């Protein structure tokens, strides 16, 4: 159970919350105002602080700043009867985890606190993993392609230019985006993630831009958007190709002007946020099929970094597998585990169509289900060993098609005077032709 500090100058609220959270087996300390709370924060560790906003001498925002300075891992929830978007944004910028509007029910505050403590538990788990085995294996590589990618990413991070990350699902675009933020001048600012695939258009619009109370069904309070929360930091939009045409138009304006309006409001909000977008789809092809706005594509396509598939960096697979297995063992309370020789051979041979995400899931499963500290071939998913004649034939057919395309491009290039002429003959643009020449090693 957690240790909570409840700060409120209204005795009835303070006592009611104290009794309620004690009934849930939490340890509860109370303070009647900001100065007393600041003294407690300086002398006692807390997992979570519930503080009123409007108090004499030291208000809730000032207490949040003091708590973040004294106890960075402690989460703070602001309780306020003055619920405005401006107050909510100020609380988030000060470092609050969330805010609740008075009056609230005990069920409501319990839900917010439980969600915060669950988040804190995940933070502690991630910190333990980092301290035990470090983040380095995810960002270290023996692959020349990956080394070049990291060099470009580090250089690009020093600017505020928009970055587009491409590559198959599961290759680690989200990991790279977070590292770019850490390398940047904005590292002290927020890193905000928006997954464009998980929400309906209405909810995603609210998630991005925020909304005013009553602007749509279920909008029970004013809510700042994720773009607003990213001010002075970085916003990462994962799978941006899934934005609907209407949201593409609205987001284009943000990319161009760094301004937008919340849903249900005419007031213009300006923020200073660096944009990193990612897609596992070919955005040029999406533009050609009129599924993605060409003007938005060109705005995003300032610096494009392609993250190679795992099969393109086979020299990294076993090192990555070892790191992931150690992490999976820690997460699941298992002792140190290692791969047997036959399991390592199978992992090194498999093509990993799901990339690093598939590898991580396979090792997570093995760490949970294995009865031994040595992961054997039988502990790995059966899908890794299904080699049918049909799949072999398909692979041969694909290779044959690639050979035919390579020879066709080589022949057209030899018969034309310029790249523009060759691209026109092939029915593709010059950029695509350049990429295919590079892929096939055609000079």
Phi, psi for 95 (deg, rounded to 5): 120, 10
Verify that 26 and 74 share a domain, yes or no. Answer: yes
How many Cα atoms are found within 13 Å in the side-chain-facing hemisphere of 44?
A: 17
Token representation of residue 252: 């284009």
- β-strand partners of 236: 193, 276
Q: Which domain holds residue 424?
A: 389-440
Domain end marker among 107, 130, 153 = 130
Of 22, 21, 19, give the one whose Cα is nearest residue 11: 19
Helix/strand/coil for 386:
coil
Q: Give yes or no for a cis peptide into 103 (omega within 30° of 0).
A: yes
Token representation of residue 183: 């390398």
Distances (CA, A) of 201 to 14, 247, 256: 40, 8, 21
The predicted model gives 289-297 an average pLDDT of 95
What is the rounded distance in angstroms from the CA atom of residue 211 to the CA atom of residue 85?
9
151 within 8 A of 143, measured Cβ to Cβ = no
Q: What is the CATH number of the domain that holds 258?
A: 3.40.50.300
What is the rounded distance in angstroms from the CA atom of residue 134 to the CA atom of residue 323?
9
What is the pLDDT, as a whole number, of residue 120?
82
pLDDT bin (cut points 50, 70, 90) of residue 218 is confident
Q: Quick one: how far is CA 121 from the chain centroid? A: 18
What pTM was computed for the model? 0.63
pLDDT bin (cut points 50, 70, 90) of residue 397 is low
Verify that 72 and 160 share a domain, yes or no. Answer: no
Verify that 317 and 300 share a domain, yes or no. Answer: no
In which element (H, E) is residue 269 found?
strand 268-270
Strand intervals (E) in 212-265: 223-224, 234-238, 259-261
pLDDT value at 296 more than 90: yes
The predicted model gives 355-371 an average pLDDT of 92
Query: Pairing state of beta strands 259-261 and 75-80?
Result: unpaired
pLDDT value at 108 more than 80: yes
Verify that 393 and 381 share a domain, yes or no. Answer: no
> Could you report the per-residue pLDDT of 304-346, keeping only the tens digit for each?
999 999 999 999 999 999 988 988 888 888 888 999 999 999 9
In which element (H, E) is residue 76 found?
strand 75-80
What is the rounded distance in angstroms from the CA atom of residue 36 to the CA atom of residue 49?
13
How confident is the prediction for the chain on average, in pLDDT?
A: 86
Verify that 238 and 379 share a domain, yes or no. Answer: no
How are strands ordered across the β-sheet holding 191-195? 191-195, 234-238, 274-279, 163-166, 303-306
383 within 8 A of 350, measured Cβ to Cβ = no
Domain end marker among 306, 329, 354 = 306
Segments in 160-221 forming alpha helices (H): 173-183, 201-209
Verify that 186 and 301 share a domain, yes or no. Answer: yes
What is the rounded distance in angstroms from the CA atom of residue 224 to the CA atom of residue 77?
16
Q: What is the CATH number of the domain that holds 341?
A: 1.10.8.60
Verify that 47 and 84 share a domain, yes or no. Answer: yes
> Could you report the per-residue pLDDT of 137-166, keeping only the tens digit for each?
556 788 999 999 999 999 999 999 999 999
Verify that 244 and 346 share a domain, yes or no. Answer: no
What is the pLDDT, as a whole number, of residue 370?
92
Q: Where is average pLDDT lowest: 82-91, 167-176, 222-231?
A: 82-91
What is the rounded distance in angstroms from the CA atom of residue 57 to the CA atom of residue 385?
68
- β-strand partners of 278: 165
Verify that 288 and 214 share a domain, yes or no. Answer: yes
Verify that 109 and 212 share a domain, yes or no. Answer: no
């Amino acid at each position: 159970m957690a240790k909570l500090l409840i700060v409120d100058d209204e005795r009835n609220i303070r006592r009611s919350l104290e009794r309620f959270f004690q009934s849930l087996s939490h340890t509860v300390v109370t303070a009647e105002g900001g100065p007393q709370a600041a003294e407690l924060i300086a002398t006692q560790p807390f997992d979570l602080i519930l503080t009123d906003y409007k108090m004499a001498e030291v208000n809730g925002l000032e207490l949040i700043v003091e708590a973040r300075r004294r106890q960075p891992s402690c989460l703070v929830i602001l309780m306020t009867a003055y619920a405005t978007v401006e107050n909510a944004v100020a609380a988030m910028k000060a470092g609050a985890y969330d805010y609740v509007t008075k009056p609230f029910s005990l069920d409501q505050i319990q839900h917010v606190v439980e969600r915060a403590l669950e988040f804190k538990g995940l933070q502690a788990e991630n910190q333990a993993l980092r301290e035990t085995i470090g983040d380095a294996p995810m960002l270290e590589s023996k692959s020349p392609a990956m080394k070049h990618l990291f060099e470009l990413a580090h250089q690009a991070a020093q600017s505020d230019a928009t970055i587009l990350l491409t590559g198959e699902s599961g290759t680690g675009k989200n990991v790279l985006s977070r590292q770019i933020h850490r390398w940047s001048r904005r590292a002290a600012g927020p890193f905000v993630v928006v997954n464009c695939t998980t929400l309906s258009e209405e909810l995603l619009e609210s998630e991005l831009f925020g909304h005013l109370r009553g602007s749509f069904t279920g909008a029970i309070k004013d809510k700042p958007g994720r773009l607003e929360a990213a001010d002075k930091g970085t916003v990462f939009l994962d799978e941006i190709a899934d934005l609907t045409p209407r949201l593409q138009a609205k987001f284009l304006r943000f990319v161009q002007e760094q301004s937008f309006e919340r849903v249900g409001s005419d007031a213009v909000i300006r923020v200073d946020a660096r944009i990193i977008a990612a897609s596992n789809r070919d955005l040029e092809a999406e533009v050609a099929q009129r599924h993605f706005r060409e003007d938005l594509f060109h705005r995003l396509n300032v610096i494009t970094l392609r993250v190679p598939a795992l099969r393109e960096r086979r020299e990294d697979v076993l090192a990555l597998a070892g790191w992931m297995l150690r992490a999976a063992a820690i997460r699941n309370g298992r002792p140190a585990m290692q791969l047997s020789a036959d399991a390592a051979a199978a992992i090194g041979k498999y093509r990993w169509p799901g990339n690093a995400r598939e590898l991580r899931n396979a090792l997570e499963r093995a760490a949970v289900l294995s009865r031994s500290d040595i992961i054997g071939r039988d502990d790995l998913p059966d899908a890794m060993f299904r080699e049918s004649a049909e799949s072999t034939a398909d692979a041969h057919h694909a290779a044959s098609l690639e050979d035919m395309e390579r020879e066709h491009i080589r022949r057209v290039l030899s018969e034309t005077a310029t790249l523009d002429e060759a691209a026109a003959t092939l029915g593709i643009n010059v950029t695509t032709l350049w990429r295919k020449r590079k892929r096939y090693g055609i000079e």
